[in-house]
Amino acid sequence: MLESLKTPGLTLDEVFNRTRLQVFRASHEAQRPWAQSSVIGTFYFRPPAPVRPRVPESAPVPTDADFQQGLRDSRAGDLDKAASAFTRAVEKNPSNANAFYERAMSYVARDQFAKAVDDFNRVLQLRAGDLNALIGRALR
């Protein structure tokens, strides 16, 4: 059991299953260990290493002045100005998925969900499977 406990990423059940198998084999099948558990969920003695999300190479942060202005306006809480700046950014560059996403988020904050869904869909056309856009579409 101690060897199994040293292995990161094994669940409680996996540790016990390995231990039972090792005891069974080491005793030449004379001992048949068993365990009873009422643990709910997944328990790790040593959790697995966290998985870091991969940032798509096709998603660099734009350096467009209108996009940057939109970010500043959004952070300042001026969502109307932010949406206008992001609109200028997507008009200049219709493949700017980040600007579509940020504009969608400004629409969400102003309860303009139909417009936000359109922009989230545009992000997904540009970056299939974009998790943030998928989550954004599900906000309502």
The CATH number of residue 90's host domain is 1.25.40.10
Please report whether residue 50 resides in a domain.
no
Domain count, the chain: 2
Tokens of 112: 């303009």
Query: What global pTM score does this model have?
Result: 0.56
77 and 23 in a common domain: no
Please report whether residue 51 resides in a domain.
no
Integer Cα distance of 69 and 54 in angstroms: 27
pLDDT tens for residues 42-97? 787 777 766 555 555 555 555 688 999 988 888 888 889 999 999 999 999 999 99
Please report whether residue 60 resides in a domain.
no
| Higher local confidence (pLDDT), 2 or 52 | 2
Please report whether residue 133 resides in a domain.
yes
Integer Cα distance of 134 and 104 in angstroms: 12
36 and 69 in a common domain: no
Range of the domain at 1: 1-41
* The predicted structure's pLDDT at residue 61: 55
